[in-house]
With several copies, the nearest count.
Chain A
Amino acid sequence: MEKKLPFDIRAVRLQFPALDQLVYNKPFVYLDNAATTQKPRVVIDRVKAWYELENSNIHRGVHYLSQQGTIAFENARQTVANFINSKSSREIIFTKGTTDSMNLLASSLGKLLVKEGDSVLVTGMEHHSNFVPWQQLCVERKANFLVAGITENGEVDLDHYTELLEKKPKIVSIAHVSNVLGTINPIEEMIRLAHVYDIPVVIDGAQSICNQKIDVQALDCDFFAFSGHKMYAPMGVGVLFGKEKWLDAMPPYQFGGEMVNQVSIDETSFNVLPFKFEAGTPNVSAVLGLESAINFIETIGNVSIAAYKDQLIQYALQRLAEVKGIKFIGNPVHRASVISFLIDEIHPYDAGMIIDKLGIAIRTGHHCAQPIMERFGIPGTMRASFAMYNTFEEIDIFVAAVKKAAIMLS
């Protein structure tokens, strides 16, 4: 298996301590990257260094560590702003993760825009985190929950989407990349179509953030949400980008701590952006880890990573096609590093257990996206998903395991 590689994979792998272990006495193969990625040494060290030397509660503290921590935290915010090319770090809100970001929006943007009889539009391939918050908002407000259909190939039915836009929903919220099908949605086009009616568009970028360069100004999306832990950063931090005009108009989501300006028994006024949306002691260690992850990604290069992952995906698709009875769920024209499949009548849980015993981590089940399971009339899928550190050899091991499971189970 020799291919021209855009960077030194072996060197990159060495940066990820978790990859270098045996599972059931077999070399560990990690293909559950859409669930969470492993962390490079620099990220782990950054978190450690914070707790060993720098730890303090930031903002409002006059003492040295608190000042230094505040500066580091706000620098990290700027790093995130640059990473996705947002105009200002005021547009960057730190949250717990994508789910937290989406709930913030459903609550706060929902309060601002959605009234009885209005509607909200999502697609049929959303992760529950970008589906249920909007659905429940609609239930609460007696609004209509519109769901754009999905084609047999696993792409958004753009005709249906356009049709639903004519109902002038107050908010559109769509996944950039499906965590089940791997589909890269044509969000530039979808945003443009929604903006014809001046509808704000929320992008769930959980799966796209480490698959391609994101430029929120070029996309012209109104909001963009992602999780640190899916882009080589620590758990417990996510980002919500929002255009300043929206964030300014929106009411706060949670109350307490830094987000407060003046409090008296009778009334309370709130802080400016971005603090208005950050209640409570922030997870500084995770934010600094996220900054390290961004630097790590940028050192290798977004474009190189995307190119390499594309090679992996093409190779995996080609090798998996050898498996008798395999059926890919979703055959999108543009696919990011996720492949879902089934083999004949084999239950994905059965196959998953056997593949696990061979030291390989894939995910089985509905991947928190039951509507798309319903769409395809299946209980779940097997899903392999790739990161910058995966190799062609690992795909070979994985395909051999799939074949073995298929034989055992049929």
Chain B
Amino acid sequence: MTIEQTQQQIIGEFSIFDDWMEKYNYLIEMGKDCPIIETQYKTNNYLINGCQSRVWLHASFDGNIVHFSADSDAVITKGIVNLLIRVFSGHSPEEILKSDTTFLDQIGLKEHLSPTRSNGLLSMVKQMKLYAQIFQLKANQQVNE
């Protein structure tokens, strides 16, 4: 599935919710479910400090595809972290760099990515893009060598 397709899928999933409570319940479920980062990466080195909640992010690159894993200490934040991972992980740096996060607007969660939230999510997205950029650079260098 492409990034765009995953985003459309998520928009579809959220379209059945009538109100914020159902949405939040879904986020909470998603937040609870998954151990989405290996404990060895849940350290200060991988910490993105929001003032309200904290996010850990790890990225790896096999030469073609970027893999992200992440976690948060707050469960709703973690639910959104989970969505972001589902969308962006497993794609090439190019794909990640040319896509955006407007799907969060469409499912009514835009506010969580506001710079005023200080929950670490906005910084997480920036950090993911940065990783993609670095990996792209690396890949290009290898090609040129």
In the complex, what residue of chain B is closest to A368 when comparing beta carbons? B51
Interface size class of A (residues with CB under 8 A): 20 to 34
Which of A70, A379, A408 touches B28 (beta carbons < 8 Å)? A408
- Residue contact A347 to B116, C-beta cutoff 8 Å: no
Check: B24 CB closer than 8 A to any chain A CB: yes
Known: A379-B73, A408-B25, A408-B28. A349 touches B53 (CB 8 A): yes
- Residue contact B52 to A349, C-beta cutoff 8 Å: yes
Chain B: interface residue total (CB-CB under 8 A):
22
Check: A354 CB closer than 8 A to any chain B CB: yes
- Residue contact B114 to A62, C-beta cutoff 8 Å: no
B5-13, B57-65, B74-82, B86-94: which lies at the A interface?
Answer: B74-82
- Residue contact A354 to B74, C-beta cutoff 8 Å: no
Check: A364 CB closer than 8 A to any chain B CB: yes
Known: A357-B24, A408-B28. A350 touches B74 (CB 8 A): yes
- Residue contact B51 to A60, C-beta cutoff 8 Å: yes
In the complex, what residue of chain A is closest to B51 when comparing beta carbons? A60
Q: How many A-B residue pairs have CB under 8 A?
A: 55
- Residue contact A60 to B118, C-beta cutoff 8 Å: yes
Check: B136 CB closer than 8 A to any chain A CB: no
Check: A74 CB closer than 8 A to any chain B CB: yes
Chain A residue numbers with a CB within 8 Å of B74 are 347, 349-350
Which of B21, B75, B114 touches A350 (beta carbons < 8 Å)? B75
- Residue contact B75 to A409, C-beta cutoff 8 Å: yes
- Residue contact B111 to A67, C-beta cutoff 8 Å: yes
Chain A residue numbers with a CB within 8 Å of B54 are 379
Chain A residue numbers with a CB within 8 Å of B25 are 408
Least Cβ distance of A144 to chain B in Å? 29
Which chain A residues (355-410) contact chain B, with CB distance < 8 Å? 357, 364-366, 379-380, 408-409
Which of B28, B49, B116 touches A67 (beta carbons < 8 Å)? B116
Spell out A's residues near B (CB within 8 Å): 24, 58-60, 62, 67, 70-71, 74, 261, 347, 349-350, 352-354, 357, 364-366, 379-380, 408-409
